[in-house]
Amino acid sequence: MHQVHGVVKWFDPVKGFGFVIADEGGADVLLHVNVLRNFGQSSIADGSQVEILTHRTDRGIQAVEVISITPPARDETPILADFADMDADALDNAELQPARVKWFDKAKGFGFANVFGSEEDIFLHIEVLRHSGLADLQSGEAVALRVVDGKRGRMAAEVLTWEAAAFFYDEDGADDME
């Protein structure tokens, strides 16, 4: 196996695969959704930086394990106009809350989730997903959300996979990010 750093060229969760361009050059690396799921997510945003272990096969180079994912670089402009008048620190430091995706339609660019213990809908926008390093969500998927009161009601300012969010919590469930 060979460790590779690179950038996601594209990933299509419907097709179940995508490709990574290795920093060292060479052929594109196949990234299959099952390898991504073993890391704890079902999608990844184009332009994300990844560290993967690869294996050469007779069909080319394939990722066999994801070691790390860094979402695409962010600029300083707000993700959505809804966040333009909000304090950036307040957005970044909103408490992570466990939630489950009700539905998400990538073609429409939005969906909804519910924080555990509440039936209140939380709006999920495709740009927030991309900003968080994700490309799509599946109904029933467990996630962690930074929820804020936006112009359209309660909405996610950040979405983390359940596995990624687990690193931010200690055994008592306290948010360790602050």
The rounded distance, in Å, linking the Cα atoms of 43 and 25 is 24
pLDDT at 78 over 90: no
The answer to whether residue 37 scores a pLDDT higher than 50 is yes
Q: Is the pLDDT of residue 90 over 90?
A: no
Structural domains of the chain sorted by starting position, each given as residue range(s) with its CATH number in brackets: 2-70 (2.40.50.140), 81-166 (2.40.50.140)
Cβ neighbors of 57 (< 8 A, separation 6 or more) are: none
In the chain, what percentage of residues exceed pLDDT 70? 85
Give the global pTM. Answer: 0.64
Residue 114 has pLDDT above 90, yes or no: yes
Determine the average pLDDT of the residues in 118-146: 88
Angstrom distances, CA of residue 154 to CA of 114, 157, 172: 10, 10, 26
Residue-level pLDDT at 75: 57
> What is the SS3 assignment for the chain?
CEEEEEEEEEEECCCCEEEEEECCCCCCEEEEHHHHHHHCCCCCCCCCEEEEEEEEECCEEEEEEEEEEECCCCCCCCCCHHHCCCCHHHHHHCCEEEEEEEEEECCCCEEEEEECCCCCEEEEEHHHHHHCCCCCCCCCCEEEEEEEEECCEEEEEEEEEHHHHHCCECCCCCECCC
Share of the chain above pLDDT 90, in %: 34
